[in-house]
Chains A and B, each alone.
Chain A
Amino acid sequence: MKLLQNKKKLRSYKEFLYILPFILLVAVFAYYPLYGWLYAFFDYRPPQPLTMESFVGLKWFKSLVSNQVKTKQILNVLTNTLVMSGITVGTSWLPMIFAVFLNEIKCIPFRKAVQTVTTIPNFISWVLVYSVAFNIFNNTGVVNHLLVSTGILEKPVQFLQASDHVWLTQWFWLTWKNLGWAAIMYIAAITGIDEELFEAARVDGATRMKMIRYITIPSILPTYFVLLMLSIASFLSNGMEQYYVFQNAFNKEKIQVLDLYVFNLAMGSGSYSVATALSILKSIISLILLSVANGISKLVRGESFL
């Protein structure tokens, strides 16, 4: 009996040994970087190693609010971040509506074709999106050509260098890239709805709009809710790649979101310490947002998503 137990134990350790190398990889690439947070408390100049003399405590955190120039910059960056995230969250119901109406299309080949084609942009990189944008909207691109030749415009517009509509155009590119793909989640949810509900409604003489309103949408609202909460949790992280490739001297004021600002601070001007301090603050706020969103989810739906 004891022998059997020992054998079991041995096996459970052996199985752990199998995954140990992978656990170590996670530890190295996801947990070990956390030590880098130390740099926020030191006056770090890139080539030199950290020494106790360069310890500055909370200096960098304080500089974020006491240094007027920096504070102004950060407020500007925060505005950009909040507005762009706000637009995204405010229009987060689009994929759901997209899926609902796509589902209404009875011609299967057309529906399949639309689904295939609209998910393509999701699979290309931001660099490629930028390249596409550049080629379509530059001086000799198709948009300017059509606008000028039809007489709507006198001369070509520098679309990508304008700063007036950056928030909207960035939202447009994000939507162009994601909408079709984001809808797949809802299409899956719609497929899961019991057919009998629709049959019953049809017998009762419900119109299609009524079925959408009273059956389809209520059935997929839980999915929407979870995704909405997750997007609230990542309100401050719009990522940097998109804004990095689209940024230029003309639109910099409006396009710099937090992630891009942190990157530009560190890689552009070598301010590792301030950039790290900002990252830490962002992580803490994100964590708070995540738990708030999780809490709301618990209150409203009685279940959490973490």
Chain B
Amino acid sequence: MKGIRKRLKKQSFGDTVISVLTYVFFAAFAFICIYPFYYIFINTISSNELSQKGLIIFLPRELHIQNYLKAIKIPGLLDAAVISVARTVIGTLLTVGTTAFLGFMFTRETMWCRKFWYRFVIITMYFNAGIIPWFLTMRNLHLTNNFWGYILPAVVSPFYIILAKTFVESIPKELQQAAEIDGAGTMKIFLRVIMPVIKPIMATVAIFAAVGQWNAFQDTLLLMTDDKLYSLQFILYQYINQASSLKQLVNSSSSSAVAQSIATVQTATSIRMTVTILVVAPILLIYPIFQRYFVKGIMIGAVKG
């Protein structure tokens, strides 16, 4: 108490007002950012009847997990989850590997026309042909209705390559030179010397690439008409727009089995909310773990680039 009073005394009146307002503002903004997820979550685990009436606002009531048990049985959802996980894992691995390798290779002054090829790659960040030419290209390459249509275009990503190159350049050159004197070739230097050192930036790129793949929606919209290849995001979008028919599907398939109480019968809203939570959960779960890494990673890029 005494400490606080002392601090307050030291501050002018204006400073105190600013302090208080700052705290209030940031608390409010943080609340707006996190509350929607919390709201949706407590509604999925509360009585659907109360939820329908808009009564679940701060605390869940009459807990049950029927919504989740039902949601995972929705036809097509599991396929979409497999596609989303597959593209996230494969896409991320390829992107991270490529980014590390190219980030390193573009620092090799010995390489033929290094600067030109670096610009050749980086310039694609600033221009693109537009979505129709891109779509026509993908069709010509038979990458429409093809799983690789998700993966191949994302393998070389200029922005990540800039981050990786900047990072490799910050490593003392002596490290590479020493290995070279010992007779190591380009590949060996990359695998034995560079790879172990650039792990922080790889973690950053990995999280960006993974989130990007998990969140991608436009490519499904443009490229895929085969519902076996739909991603979770696309399925979710469909559900938001046509949840009522889905409700019938979910509830009719269950009526023959155990009769549900009114509180746990799925509504259009409950299905939408449940799928939303299922799609957002992986991000909310891994986010706090990786947050430290990518804040550091983006700062490396921001300060230097």
Interface residues of A (CB under 8 A from B): 8, 11-16, 18-19, 22-23, 25-26, 28-37, 39, 101-102, 104-105, 110, 113-121, 123-128, 130-132, 134-136, 138, 140-142, 144-146, 149, 176, 179-180, 184-185, 188-189, 191-192, 207-209, 223, 240-241, 244-245, 259, 262-263, 266-267, 272, 275-276, 279-280, 282-283, 286-287, 290, 306
Contacts and interface: CB of A to CB of B under 8 A. Distances in A.
B276 A145 contact: no
A34 B133 contact: yes
Nearest to B303: A188
A117 B12 contact: no
A18 B303 contact: no
8 contacts: A11-B186, A12-B111, A18-B187, A32-B137, A124-B215, A136-B39, A209-B15, A276-B130
B280 to A, nearest CB: 5
The A contact surface, by secondary structure, is helix
Contacts of B51: 140
Given A15-B111, A104-B19, A135-B40, A130 B240 contact: yes
B36 A132 contact: yes
Nearest to A287: B127
Interface in B111-140: 111-113, 117, 120-121, 124, 126-137
Contact of B302 (A12, A26, A119, A185): A185
A30 B240 CA distance: 33
Interface in B12-29: 12, 14-15, 18-19, 22-23, 25-27, 29
Interface centre among B33, B113, B298 (most CB of A within 10 A): B33
B172 interface: no
B272 A134 contact: yes
Contact of A126 (B33, B129, B217, B283): B217
Contact of B131 (A135, A223, A262): A262
A124 B110 contact: no
A33 B269 contact: no
A184 B23 contact: no
Given A16-B117, A22-B102, A207-B14, A28 B141 contact: yes
B132 A15 contact: no
Interface stretch (B71-79, B152-160, B255-263): B152-160
A117 B121 CA distance: 34
Nearest to B123: A30
Interface centre among B43, B128, B129 (most CB of A within 10 A): B129
A32 B25 CA distance: 49
B69 interface: no
Contacts of A145: 54-55, 57
Contacts of B130: 33, 36, 262, 276, 279-280, 282-283
A176 B32 contact: yes
Nearest to B276: A131
A124 B280 contact: yes
Interface stretch (B59-67, B85-93, B197-205, B287-295): B287-295
B54 to A, nearest CB: 3
A119 B291 contact: yes
B171 interface: no
Interface of B: 12, 14-15, 18-19, 22-23, 25-27, 29-30, 32-34, 36-37, 39-40, 43, 51-55, 57, 98, 101-102, 105, 108, 110-113, 117, 120-121, 124, 126-137, 141, 152-153, 155-156, 186-187, 211, 214-218, 221-222, 233-234, 236-237, 240, 269, 272-273, 276, 279-280, 283-284, 287-288, 291, 295, 298-299, 302-303
Contacts of A113: 30
A256 to B, nearest CB: 15
B105 A15 contact: yes
Given A125-B214, A283-B130, 18 more contacts: A18-B101, A19-B105, A19-B111, A23-B120, A33-B136, A36-B129, A115-B295, A120-B34, A127-B240, A128-B276, A130-B240, A132-B37, A140-B51, A140-B269, A179-B29, A180-B33, A276-B133, A283-B129
B153 A29 contact: yes
A142 B273 CA distance: 13
B124 A26 contact: yes
Q: Shortest 10 CB-CB distances between A and B: which pairs?
A: A36-B133, A279-B130, A145-B54, A125-B215, A33-B129, A30-B124, A15-B111, A188-B299, A33-B133, A16-B112
A140 B215 CA distance: 27
A180 B269 CA distance: 29
Contacts of A29: 137, 152-153, 156
Contact of A18 (B133, B186, B240, B299): B186
A208 B22 CA distance: 12
A263 B131 CA distance: 7
Contact of B269 (A138, A267, A286): A138
Contact of A279 (B39, B101, B132, B279): B132
Nearest to A305: B305
A51 to B, nearest CB: 16
Contacts of B156: 22, 25-26, 29
